[in-house]
Amino acid sequence: MTTPGTAPVTAPVTTLTRDRGVTGPKGFKAAGVAAGIKESGALDLALVVNEGPGQAAAGVFTTNQVKAAPVLWSQQVLRERRLNAVVLNSGGANACTGQEGFQDTHATAEKVAEVLDIGAIEVAVCSTGLIGERLPMDRLKAGVDLAAGALAATDEAGLDAATAVMTTDTHPKQSWARHPDGWSVGGFVKGAGMLAPNMATMLSVITTDAVVDGDALDAALRATTAKTYDRLDVDGGTSTNDTVLVLASGASGIAPGAEDFVAVLTAVAADLVKQLQGDAEGVTKEISITVNGALTEADAVTVAKTVAEDNLVKTALFGSDPNWGRIAMAVGRSQATVDQHRLGIAINGVTLFTDGHRAADRSGADLSGRDVDIVIELNLGDGAATVLTTDLSHGYVEENSAYSS
């Protein structure tokens, strides 16, 4: 199975574009409308409907022990590995809202079921926004009517859905990839802060017209998210609402091999994650942290995430300072096995530290650009992993201190 870190797997993909999303694959309609949940009047309610003939679905959800009502609901309905529709709202996370909040989610699913003439158990619900506030259910239900009326299989409808889930995102994020055999995978994602998916980055819906059954879809989704969404870490903030759903219509009539399917799914997921990184709150640097030579892959991920979450590393990079000593400090405080006498660090292709010794003056590493590539050599084994992160800027502090979200 080809799942090399977060790099897009382009081998079996002939087309990869950000101009299409969930309505790219055959058999799907979508809509995004302004239901008035957000006071700004922006789009805030999205609907994605699978018209079949197949209805296989799978989901992965936040590992946070404080789970929002829509996560609890969607986990429950996904046990059947079958979905007809997904309804998503921004403007409120419906997290920490108790039994009443769960009833609101249930009522939302019932409303969608009524309008589409399906069962509530076939409807997944996702919410995003401020934690701790109840949703305005009257507006939300009226919005479902509006969205049902706007459902379309067009690229524009897919983009509306991708737009309606945005919170502090500055632009909608879509990706669509087509396999040469004629089936495709498309999706959208939202998220800009509270980003350390484990599992899943805030909300993402992926569709495919490949013929895949529920169990295979579940296995493919888990293999994919472990190498993509799980390897983005902006601020360690695994959210209460993180959800990634994949729905398969089977409308292409083609049943791909498992390896090909995971490869295309990974290409789309990696492209969506790359867009999350690029639109993270306050981002001025898009940072890739690769750890090689760890005892295990899990150790490599642990080291990379410890460095990714380290505020001293993140602020140094914001200041374009190749301060590798802070990286060494973060590596050493990780829970993975590290030998400081074998440690090496390279930044943007320049080895600054090797085998526990300074190799070059840090001024040799040029950090003036937006992309920063950090490679950490542990020289202990074969474990390797790449984690994506961003810098810690005044913009991040400003966005997260001046506004509630």
Residue 216 or 291: the one with the smaller Cβ distance to a copy of itself is 291
**Per rule CB under 8 A, count of chain residues that contact a copy of itself:** 63
User: Known catalytic residue: 389?
Assistant: no
Which segments of 139-285 are extended strands (E)? 173-178, 184-190, 203-208, 243-248
318 binds a copy of itself (CB under 8 A): yes
171 binds a copy of itself (CB under 8 A): no
Question: Which residues are CB-neighbours of 319 under 8 A, at least 6 positions away?
Answer: none
63 binds a copy of itself (CB under 8 A): yes
- Which residue out of 201, 224, 266, 386 is catalytically annotated? 201
369 binds a copy of itself (CB under 8 A): no
325 binds a copy of itself (CB under 8 A): yes
Of the candidate residues 3, 55, 84, 97, the single one contacting a copy of itself (CB under 8 A): 97
Consult the annotation and say whether 40 binds a ligand.
no
String of DSSP letters for 102-142: HHHHHHHHHHHHHHHTS-GGGEEEEEBS-TT----HHHHHH
SS3 56: strand
312 binds a copy of itself (CB under 8 A): yes
SS3 373: strand
Tell me the window of 11-19, 149-157, 176-184, 237-245 that interacts with a copy of itself (CB under 8 A): 237-245
Q: Which of 123, 135, 134, 136 is nearest to 48 (CA)?
A: 123
Interatomic CA distance for residues 244 and 236, integer angstroms: 18
Angle at 274 between CA 259 and CA 46, to 5 degrees: 90
Of the candidate residues 39, 98, 117, 368, the single one contacting a copy of itself (CB under 8 A): 98
367 binds a copy of itself (CB under 8 A): no
356 binds a copy of itself (CB under 8 A): yes
Using an 8 Å Cβ cutoff, are 172 and 189 in contact?
no
Tally of helices (H runs) and strands (E runs) in the chain: 10, 16
Positive or negative, the CA dihedral 107, 112, 116, 122 is negative
Residue ranges for the binding site for substrate? 167, 190, 201, 281, 400, 405
Active site residues: 201
User: Which residues are near a copy of itself by CB under 8 A?
Assistant: 63-67, 93, 95-98, 130-133, 193-194, 196, 235-240, 309-312, 315-316, 318-319, 321, 323-326, 328-334, 338-341, 343, 353, 356-358, 362, 392-394, 396-398, 400-402, 404
